[in-house]
Chain A
Amino acid sequence: GESVGLHLPTLSVQEGDNSIINCAYSNSASDYFIWYKQESGKGPQFIIDIRSNMDKRQGQRVTVLLNKTVKHLSLQIAATQPGDSAVYFCAENLSLNNAGNMLTFGGGTRLMVKP
């Protein structure tokens, strides 16, 4: 079946370094991708998104790259800070033909920032 998945379950980085979290997807019909950050005991929080007609989008300290050729998505966090420590989920969106949209989530990557 088609799924969204992540390459690395845990990523440990030094404070100040850049972080890269990767995600593979296999559903070619997905039109939109989202990265969520989830801190312990909280709900997922939107970080950044990208539509399938784009290959790069930048936010504040974060960049999402989309490679449709190999169906790969990545989240880059610049100058990683202790507050960035969390679990990061990628999600792919499918529009359900006038029935809303359905997000399919990957399993998550835990980012640990070492001081």
Chain B
Amino acid sequence: NAGVTQTPKFRVLKTGQSMTLLCAQDMNHEYMYWYRQDPGMGLRLIHYSVGEGTTAKGEVPDGYNVSRLKKQNFLLGLESAAPSQTSVYFCASSRSLAGGETQYFGPGTRLLVL
């Protein structure tokens, strides 16, 4: 199993440009999550999904949209990138709802917005 994969690994955008980050998992997990990590800080939840076709806002959702059209994929979109969105983005997935289910993380996507 590849686990959780993310594409691209690195991207540079100009302010106002749009892009989509792709997350894929091959573990048949129901739950998927997008986090951002800023220097010297822990991860903050942007959006999450509890199943195919469903999404919900996390702690810092503004400026991002997500879609979960297929169970194995969770897309994070930036419609109009801003320098404040320069960060490392991590996707994660977990098997079920129950408290105590480990989240497995992808390798991250580094995004630089100029």
Contacts and interface: CB of A to CB of B under 8 A. Distances in A.
Given A89-B42, A107-B41, A108-B40, A101 B108 contact: no
A70 interface: no
A44 B43 contact: yes
A103 B45 contact: yes
Contacts, number: 78
A93 B100 contact: yes
A51 B48 contact: no
A107 B100 contact: no
Interface in A61-113: 89, 91, 93-95, 98-108
Interface string B84-104: 000000101010011111111
A46 B50 contact: no
A42 B107 contact: yes
A91 B31 CA distance: 17
Contacts of B59: 102, 104
B108 A42 contact: yes
Contacts of A4: 42
Given A49-B102, A93-B99, A107 B44 contact: no
B62 to A, nearest CB: 17
B1 to A, nearest CB: 15
A91 B94 CA distance: 15
A34 B104 CA distance: 12
Contacts of A34: 102-103
B100 A32 contact: yes
B105 interface: yes
A80 B81 CA distance: 42
Interface of A: 4, 31-32, 34, 36, 41-46, 49, 51, 89, 91, 93-95, 98-108
Closest 8 CB pairs of A and B: A105-B42, A43-B105, A95-B99, A31-B99, A100-B50, A105-B43, A32-B100, A32-B99
